[in-house]
Amino acid sequence: ISEAVAFLTEKNAKVPQQDEATYYQTAQITNDRYISVGSQADTNVIDLTGDDKDDLQRAIALSLEESNRAFRETGITDEEQAISRVLEASIAENKASLKRTHTEVWSDSPNPHDRKRQENCPVGLKNVGNTCWFSAVIQSLFNLLEFQRLVLHYSPPARMQDLPRNQKEHRNLPFMQELRHLFSLLVGSKRKYVDPSRAVEILKDAFKSSESQQVSFSPCDSMFALVLHREGEKPKNPMVDLFYGRFLAVGVLEGKKFENTEMFGQYPLQVNGFKDLHECLEAAMIEGEIESLHSTENSAKSGQEHWFTELPPVLTFELSRFEFNQTLGRPEKIHNKLEFPSMLYMDRYMDRNRDITRIKREEIRRLKEHLTILQQRLERYLSYGSGPKRFPLADVLQYAMEFASSKPVCTSPLEDVDTTALPGGTTAQLPPPASTGEQPDTSVPAEGSGSGPQAQQQQRVSIHKPFTQSRVPPDLPMHPAPRHITEEELRVLEGCLHRWRSEVENDTRDLQASISRIHRTIELMYSDKSMMQVPYRLHAVLVHEGQANAGHYWAYIFDPHQQQWMKYNDISVTKSSWEELVRDSFGGYRNASAYCLMYIDDKKPFLIEEEFDKETGQMLSGLDKLPPDLKEYVEADNKLFVREMEEWDTLQARKLQQEKLALAAASVAHDLEYMEQQSPTGDSKHLQEDTERAISKAAAEHDEKSPEALLNTAVKVEYTRLLRFAQEDTPPERDYRLQHVIVYFIHNQAPKKIVERTLLMQFADRNLGFDERCKSIMKVARAKLELIKPDEVNMEEYEMWHQDYRKFRDTTVFLLIGLELFLKKSYVEALMYLIFAYQYNKELLAKGPYRGHDEELIAHYRRECLLKLNEHAAVLFETGEETEVNAGLSIMNELVVACIPLLLVDEMEEKDMVAVEDMRNRWCSYLGQEMEPNLQEKLTDFLPKLLDCSTEIKSFHDPPKLPSYSTLELCERYGQVMTSLTLSRTPADGR
């Protein structure tokens, strides 16, 4: 069709004459969606090349002949040529953007153990540059175990005469070889995910011009076109047999009947205007007006029906969710909801059931016509009235009944109103109701206007009566009531209204019941056993999130052995559910929807059955599934990975040993550097004062003055003080854990020996007081520390507890600075502090609920900071100014996009998920707007990064350097910022 249109648009185009017999063998009544082979046309096929046909028909005929000639010469079908042309056009249009290099937001974790495959967990695929579509398709094919076996056991032609004879087969061989390597790694790799770069490059090379550097693909078309190639007269390709079927096209063109057998791979379905998959299929199977098919008369009407004669074991539907907006001149995505079943029965579309299906279709058509009439009638009952506002008729009758039966307490709504007590103490005289068309006077006399009735009537000013000051007298009816009605009239009217309302309610119920019965009848039309003999079970759903020209892909694939849906999202492979699949795949919710459905024949279990060893009967798994050459290939890669982990472990062990030696060499007095560190505000001095205060109190309580006794008593006094702090229920702004490490230890139930040694360290401070009593106690404390044996206090555990407290203090400082910057609206600077506060805090909370701060509070401000930055970046982008746009996209790429995986990693945090969706929706909304080409280019380049759903958390830059705060300063500033947050909150915040 595209060639025909191009031909017609050329100036002075001439149509070459074509031999009628030649065309007879090639032209078919087809749709451009299908690959046509082996047609068996009857003698009534129309020749579209005659002189009496219009230019479009002749051009189509010429296009068909050209495409068939090209296939004979090159082995490349017209479908693949069309794909190639579209890709090359895309390259030419986006040449500038394609030459740019895309900076990676994340890099692989330096720790190979983070990249180690968990036992029995499927292997993911690394995204090597907008290749999420490749991952989704490959994983769907890999999890078809029969296809997996065909790929793994594929062998290239061994004889010269079997070598490829055309361009298409030449490019297929290296891809199939690389696909074997990739599949073998997915089977037996010890890595969490593997790199598909080589396969992707081969695939790109197969569909790009020699000038281009990179290309975008139609995901499924490219894979199927390359892998599932047909080989003409050669023996059947078993891969093709898995995915390709045949249908019969039966139709009439201008009164003449035709019948063609056609092959199909992916079966395309339109989404717009349909609510479920069966409606899409019904529409795709019938085209045009087909009444003449079922009559003996020839008419001028044209149309065709499609009936499947042979369904493939793997039935793939391509859902067309894109349409071209003529006004804007670009494609747009259709977000309409489209439901599809987990079990699909294809009986109604089979050629062998043609007669019974036609009968059922006619019955459904008749039922739907009846249904339309009933729904129209029901609508008249449910939406009654002739004006713009309509109400249910039963309610209208009920309101009339209530009005008729209301008893008035006075004859006029104006009677019994107290006119002597108006707001503000002003008196007013309301005139009698106007009975002659005069407007009632609602004014009052002005001050100093004289006396007497006449003076009052002549000099009045309007009273201001605000709505809030209105008062309804208690004896005035709250609703209108009939003023003049006799008991007999009321009785007759109430009887009529009761009877009419009952009739209306009965009619409404009957209509609703009839409508429900018809719906149920239609639903069950194909539910008898004879029409449930061709079951297909849903195997995979390929999902696209985004808009027509940008987005992210992933796949849901059913694991029949675990009876579990799995989500394959690049390197992330996680367990999922039917509910999550429905949410992301049906459409109508967010920007995500299915674009490809893969069903498998439920009567052919070999498609998903594992292999078994013929001798032992044991199921083959892992490397045992691989041929010898692939087994050797995977084992070599696994050895490299194991060596990488060993080298990492050796390096870390060396570092740990160096740290231990450094720790052992350090003086005991410096074990708690953060407790003794000198600072501008005298942090250690504060600690010394607490210690000396405890010693003084111990000396006052006991007569015995020996240093050892005083030390024991002072330690108890200090511990009692700190225990009281730990037991207090305090607000966040007064967190005693910041004041002393012992409070933190008590909160988290640290071992008794750890607490005792820490207290001894406090009293062993070299800077403790200058009087003899304090010095003697310090010496006793130091002596006791030296007497503690290694088996009494585990020094590694001791150091671990103090490291946790140091991390808690660092977390507090990160949070403090981040919140201070946030309140100053310095969101760029605040973000990294809040990010590291959340990460450090999460690590602490993993050890216990009191190890860190309120996780929801940090998550809230981290989320709010990202939303503020996203909004700021969007505003900069909207200016259209080069500098501003680049600044906005820099904020998005370097900050927002980099941090989105942190919000997605915990899918239980609904607020974070909603925030990410809001940010994405903001940028996706620009796709439907007019903008300069350079902005469109930047947006298209940026959106895939934003829409990438990967939750893999990789390394950050180094955390911001923290200033040194004394305990007093830290507590004071932390208290101030938490108080500011409390004051700035509103009840609507929900925080």
Catalytic residue positions? 132, 544, 552
Determine the 3-state secondary structure of 559 from DSSP.
strand
And the tokens for 663?
């720790």
Distance CA 626, CA 189 (A): 12
In sequence order, the 6+-apart residues with CB closer than 8 A to the CB of 166 are 73, 74, 75, 76
Q: Which phi-psi region, left, alpha or beta, contains residue 197 (left: φ > 0; alpha: ψ -120 to 50)?
A: alpha
Tokens at 256, concatenated: 């003449």
Residue at token pair 């994983």: 139
Burial class (CB in 10 A: 0-12, 13-18, 19+), 51: exposed
Q: Are 3 and 58 in contact (CB under 8 A)?
A: no
DSSP letter at 733 equals: G
DSSP string, 224-244: HHHHS---TTSSPPHHHHHH-
What ranges make up the beta strands (E) of 133-285? 193-194, 245-253, 256-264, 266-270
Max Cα separation, the chain? 128
Tokens of 882: 């080069």
Q: State the burial class of residue 704 (Cβ atoms within 10 Å of its Cβ: 0-12, 13-18, 19+).
A: exposed
141 bridge partner residues: none
Pair 586, 276: CB distance under 8 Å: no
| Residue in 867, 739, 865 with CA at minimum distance from that of residue 812 | 739
| Other Cβ atoms within 10 Å of 4 Cβ, number | 19
Q: What letter would DSSP give residue 69? A: H
CA atoms 544, 546, 547, 549: torsion sign = negative
Structure tokens at 403: 């009005």
- C-alpha closest to that of 822 among 812, 813, 833: 833
In whole angstroms, what is the distance from residue 855 CA to residue 811 CA?
A: 12
CB distance 252 to 304 below 8 Å: yes
Per the DSSP assignment, residues forming a β-bridge with 553 are: 544
Contact assessment for residue 125 and residue 134, using Cβ atoms and an 8 Å cutoff: yes
763 and 691 in contact (C-beta within 8 Å)? yes
Is the alpha carbon torsion for 977, 979, 984, 986 positive or negative? Answer: positive
730 forms beta bridges with none
In the 8-state DSSP scheme, what is residue 893? Answer: I
Question: How many Cα atoms sit within 13 Å of 82 on the Cβ side?
Answer: 18
Residue 802 near residue 672, CB atoms below 8 Å: yes
Backbone angles phi, psi at 612, to 5 degrees: -125, 145
DSSP 644-712: HHHHHHHHHHHHHHHHHHHHHHS-GGGTTHHHH---TT-HHHHHHHHHHHHHHHHHHH-S---HHHHHH
Name the 3-class secondary structure at 489.
helix
Query: CA-to-CA distance for 110 and 687, rounded, in angstroms?
Result: 41
Nearest partner of 919 among 897, 942, 951, 891, judged by Cα: 897
Count of C-beta atoms within a 10 Å radius of residue 273: 10
What does the angle CA 6 – CA 11 – CA 15 come to, to the nearest 5 degrees? 70
From the list 582, 556, 31, 605, the residue with the least C-alpha distance to 263 is 31
